[in-house]
Chains A and B, each alone.
Chain A
């Protein structure tokens, strides 16, 4: 219980820090939005009037409080370039990015766990060595390059999909999920390689332990020992690793959206950065930060729950 309270306080502090940094970065440093809106030609009196109207002359703490209140209630400001509320601009893009992140995550788990256990079973055999080498290479490939290679292979050689032919989830859900398969795979492959390597070494560390010998001597077959006994303990450190990885998966999805022409949050973020559309950039970044901080806290709690040894 004490741990849960400590974790939640930590999460709240982290959210506060992120919100203060985001507020400073986007509301203060970029300069005077009133001047930006009116242009350099406007007279000082006019700019001053608009500043008053926009509430820019109030103390920073008041403005920060206001900003947090608005953000929490869903008012994230108005996009400079589209002149529509940021909320409307990003609302229908969130499901796309979320789906892609979840799919990538599923790929990572589904690929790394069976292959990791397989490598432990065949430790130092040919199969294990091949996977180790393959892993080392995969970890070095940027996901967007994997995306390009997948495009060439499945799009241009096998005509398995149309590159750039994104299908919206409102039109055809199955087509949408199908189109996201390859992008998710591109994000997942390097991360799956890392997870697999980590699981392998973590499980190998367990093999020398007494409980493994006991489990074997009680007549459990080698697969059962690996999957039931060794995996349970070997997987624990991997959970923390997977939690940290969510951040990377989201970051990579931004780049991958560009490769496959998927109109998700990442594309909106990048085009807003090029156009210096601060309200949009701010909203997307803060949303991503919240998701990452909350998932990390949940993963920590989950880890605590699963690892009986550190239960207090």
Chain B
């Protein structure tokens, strides 16, 4: 149908390549870093990038590369946890409301619309203001805040599929509803779901970075890219590398996952 095709294979390939490299670095950061990310060295304050310290050192003489690797790890954990929480709940709510419809759908979607109109970061802030900050609390807060957007996507896809022949046939031969929902329909909406999960992942990474930057996200001693950026702000003049490297790492991660998501939709997905 579409006359103007996007360079789809490019998005998928480039996205997968960048995401792959970032994933390797993040996994590496869980097990190994060139230096102890917390080790301070008074003689090495705000040193520029060198062979010993590829990304330079910060105001306490800590190795920026080591901190980026560990910080990216916790950013990843928070974002992954967010989409696991938000995705699971969103799939269940979206599947039930989209498939069965009725008053349950009407009621839940009203609440959903009211919440979805609200920026998820603000919703997460509300939860954080009550629960207090911290790595796992941020994860839970963002996870809950992301439920409406996932539920909305999944619901739309299920509503589309309910009318398909294979679902009607499955109903006729007496396949139980839960099986139709999660074995028959779910695999068919995978491209749309995966693509919205990648968008959710990126939003979670950006939200966590923003919250940690504001000092109400991940708390010390846990490292995070957002917190590194916030600490680096005071030293922008004397050590711009403290901000640039974590920032660029963050951008590359989001860029890679974003392109991968678009590639998945272009390559495997139907119409939007």
Contact = CB atoms under 8 A, between A and B. Distances in A.
A137 B117 CA distance: 26
Interface residues of A, number: 55
Interface string B57-79: 00000000000000000000000
B119 A148 contact: no
B255 A137 contact: yes
Interface stretch (B88-96, B125-133, B162-170, B171-179): B125-133
Contacts of A145: 229, 243, 247, 250-251
Given A25-B130, A148-B233, A142 B206 contact: yes
B216 A285 contact: no
A276 B118 contact: no
Interface string A253-279: 011001100000000011011101010
A41 to B, nearest CB: 23
Interface stretch (A54-62, A168-176, A201-209, A227-235): A201-209
Contacts, number: 126
A296 interface: yes
Interface string A122-160: 010000000000001101111011001101100010000
B215 interface: yes
A133 B224 CA distance: 28
Question: Which interface residue of B122, B213, B233, B252 has the most chain A CB atoms within 10 A?
Answer: B122
Q: Which secondary structure dominates chain A's binding surface?
A: helix
A247 B118 contact: yes
A102 B113 CA distance: 24
A288 to B, nearest CB: 6
Question: Which interface residue of A14, A22, A140 has the most chain B CB atoms within 10 A?
Answer: A140
A293 interface: yes
Contacts of B252: 140
B216 A248 contact: no
B236 A255 contact: no
A148 B236 contact: yes
B229 A258 contact: no
Given A140-B255, A144-B229, A288-B122, A247 B2 contact: no
14 contacts: A14-B114, A136-B255, A156-B236, A156-B237, A208-B4, A248-B119, A252-B210, A258-B213, A273-B125, A273-B128, A273-B216, A276-B129, A285-B125, A289-B118
Given A142-B206, A273-B129, 13 more contacts: A17-B110, A136-B259, A140-B258, A141-B254, A142-B247, A145-B243, A148-B232, A270-B215, A273-B125, A273-B128, A278-B129, A285-B122, A293-B114
